[in-house]
Structure 1
Amino acid sequence: MKSVFKLFLWITFGFGLLFSSMAYASDFQVVEAEGVAPVEYGDEVSARVRAMRNAIKNASMQVSASVQSSQVMENGNLTVDYLRVNSAAQVSGIEVLSEQNEGGLYKVKIEATVAPSQQCANVVSNSYHKSVAITGFAMEHPEHSTLGRLGSVDRSLAALLVNDLNGRQGIRALSANYMTLYPNTPNAPTQISPRMTLTRAVSTAKDLGVQFIVSGVIRDMAMENPDAPRAGNWDNWLKKVGISKAKRTRHFVFDVFVHDGYSGALVFQSRYKTYGLWNEKNHAEVGFGTAKFFSTDYGQQVRLLIDQAVNDLQKTVQCQPFMATIAQVDGQRIYVSSGAESGLRPGDFLSVYRTSQKFNREGDSFWQISDTRLVAEVKQVQPYYAVAELAIGAERLNLQVEDIVMAW
């Protein structure tokens, strides 16, 4: 039986739990909880992992829980009745009190230290490095970039995000600023399917070999008062005699979208707005993202806005499960298309999922991810791939290339 510590490094469950080396001293509670999972294919290791997830979830629910309910009606009939219970709690100091396989059910009883936490609330967090590709930012109004020769903003903004994200923990950012995902920029990203998926994001992620696709649209770079005169040395004197001039205020508004590269689901979107003074000559060749650009008041405000977007992107990506594709299947062994560069180590456990493309009644395609309920243990790790082993042959699960593994 693997050590409890090794298993616990990755089994934080997607109901908002977060492993941490410390809990809040003033709010923590010590609770007992039980978890149960069926033993399938005779694999007690996988059952134990799922039972531990269940126990940890139940422990967190005793401290912090919220309930969301929604119903979908079609032609007067109830077609979907959806109930979800979420937790935003921090779990640490876990001790296994008892565990046993009883009649095909693996049962675990734990004692855990739990404290309320809003970090990664209702989602998950782990220490693996997730890969993201940042595409070019389509411009809704290209004519707005004429002043100052800022036409390179579609690629330069993406390049700035890549550079800043690569300095953050848990992210490997790649530049794909030569492509954009939205030919119809005014409606982006509403051309995605009713399931809030973007099929093109899946194909793009597969081509680039990344887990997430970051895209966006630049909505506004216009001057508020295009005819306002530039600031001059006499402005302060004019103010003293009650004469004021219109300010040369310039706006910067852009949207950011993050899509899961395996399902196409939209996992994050946000609009960022700012403005600043633009006092450069009308024919000045400043360029977006240059030293001269950032020396202006407008450029400084844009820099702060980009920093905010980078912070949001890091939090979003960190609070998602780690995923990687299966590159090869060989009996009980699977070859995973991520390795040491993503933080994988021998002894890690990865949940195994099947992927399949489905179509709805309107003919729109979407990707479905199905849990096999088994885990694979990482045995070997190379810089860019890893070898993991299942308790049974992969053919019994009908695993295929492009199926995925996941770590919570």
Structure 2
Amino acid sequence: MAEIYSAEGVAPLDNGAVTAREMAIRDALQLISIRQGATLESVQVLQNGRQSESGNLRPVAPVQGTMKVVKEFQQGKLYHVKVEVDTGSEAGAERRDPACAIPPGRSLRRRLVTTYFDVARPAEASDMSDLATALPTELSRRLSRNAQLMVRDANTISVLADSRVAEPAAGWDIASQLGLREDVQFVVAGRVLSSSITDKEPRPSFFESNNTSQQGAFYNGPFAGMFGMGVKYAPTRRQFDFEVWIYDGLTGSLLANERFGGEAKGEVVPKLPKPFASEAFWMTDYGKLINQLLNKAATRVDDVISCIPFSARIVKQEGKRIYINAGLLDGMAVGDKLLLYKRSTGQPVRDLISGRALGMPESLNGDVTLIQVQPNFSIGVAQGATAPVSDGDFVRFSQAR
């Protein structure tokens, strides 16, 4: 049954009305999510003989439906917004999390680069010599089918300085540098974990030389060569497992580590050379498996980044006028409002135990309204900034709702 939920969110006006409005909307959506289902987290602390308790409600899942703002006003130093969410949807209509800042009628094209995939066991992939560079290229081609992505391919660059390092989070520094150099919001890398043969079956061979690069075992016992006949154990099953790592191109923090795998049966090692990603390779049973896995990986990458707000960097500033590295080709339009952020420090926040980089601390610093949009850059006016705007600061899209 479809229902309409309503809630009123509140936020301080410290960083301007646009910023406060967006925060108030998110506050209201959080309240609606809790009404639809939440878990209670409670913590008790005993210190110096005194007991204290704190609790927190956490929504089970984000609210789904169509959102609209029905009332908003300023009162003192607070901004109030009342929203309604209709959880019903027409047949066949796509339902999205209303917290996603996606403007109706147009798309914001996020920039992404694919990089080198390390091959954990090169000997297993001896028949696919260019796998490490061809795999990211094929992934980028599938990602390019999405109109909301601008994809680049840097298949010879690895985010791991040492291939012996197994932890993908160690690539945050190179991922951040690559994101800055390639001017992208996301960096995608990965690792091929296995391409091993899992089963072999005997089959007769006629006048075949055992001196071959084909993977398999050959019988050379008595009568093996009689009448030019022999028995060969040929591969019939082969697995393919790989990971895809998604990094934030600004901070280098690891956003996701997804694993994909499966097993093919039939023609898994071609009799004649068929280069990886060639048309002949895709026609093999093994090629069909990898093709399916790459399509799944591309879909998962899109799922992970689809609700992450569009962001761009400030490349120049003249007083209140700022220039950002996103323009008409990225989906920007005159009148768009973006939230302005500043990095709090130059160093990432790290887990003190593992040493893993968790991300860069940041603070809201007002908002920006675009007044001019060129193909590759835009000019905006900063408002409500409490700290000086500088090159390297960044903006995130705030949907007019």
Scaled to the shorter chain, the TM-score interval is 0.7 to 0.9
- Pair 1:290 & 2:296 matched: no
The counterpart of 1:324, out of the listed 312, 318, 323, is: 312
The counterpart of 2:25, out of the listed 44, 49, 52, is: 52
The counterpart of 1:273, out of the listed 238, 261, 269, is: 261
**Larger deviation: 53-62 or 358-367?**
358-367
Residues 57-136 of structure 1: matches in 2 within 5 Å?
A: 57-66=30-39, 85-86=58-59, 87-97=61-71, 99-114=72-87, 124=100, 126=102, 127-136=107-116
Query: SS of 1:304's equivalent?
Result: helix
Bigger CA radius of gyration: 2
Aligned twin of 2:338: 350
Shift in CA distance, 399/145, structure 1 to aligned 2, threshold 3 Å: same
- Pair 1:400 & 2:400 matched: no
- Pair 1:376 & 2:368 matched: yes
Query: SS of 1:248's equivalent?
Result: strand
Aligned twin of 1:178: 156
Residue 58 of structure 1 and its aligned partner are, at CA, apart by 2.6
Shift in CA distance, 106/299, structure 1 to aligned 2, threshold 3 Å: same
Shift in CA distance, 54/191, structure 1 to aligned 2, threshold 3 Å: closer
Conserved? CA contact 1:130–1:171, under 8 Å: yes
State TM-score, norm by structure 2. 0.77
Q: Match of 2:279, as an amino acid?
A: A
Conserved? CA contact 1:185–1:217, under 8 Å: no
CA distance in 1, matches of 2:234, 2:41: 50
Q: Match of 1:339, as an amino acid?
A: G
Unaligned runs of 5+ residues in structure 1 are: 1-25, 73-80, 234-242
Shift in CA distance, 281/211, structure 1 to aligned 2, threshold 3 Å: closer
Aligned twin of 2:147: 169
Shift in CA distance, 229/70, structure 1 to aligned 2, threshold 3 Å: farther
> Identical aligned pairs, as a percentage?
24
Residue 88 of structure 1 and its aligned partner are, at CA, apart by 1.5
Unaligned runs of 5+ residues in structure 2 are: 46-53, 207-230
The counterpart of 1:388, out of the listed 377, 380, 389, is: 380
CA distance in 1, matches of 2:147, 2:155: 22
Aligned twin of 1:238: none
- RMSD over aligned CA atoms reads 3.4
**Larger deviation: 177-186 or 291-300?**
177-186
CA distance in 2, matches of 1:256, 1:123: 26
Q: Match of 1:389, as an amino acid?
A: V
State TM-score, norm by structure 1. 0.76
Q: Match of 1:189, as an amino acid?
A: E
Aligned twin of 1:188: 166
Query: SS of 2:25's equivalent?
Result: helix
CA distance in 2, matches of 1:400, 1:367: 20
Aligned twin of 2:172: 198
CA distance in 2, matches of 1:400, 1:61: 38
Aligned twin of 2:296: 308
Shift in CA distance, 351/84, structure 1 to aligned 2, threshold 3 Å: farther
Residue 130 of structure 1 and its aligned partner are, at CA, apart by 1.1
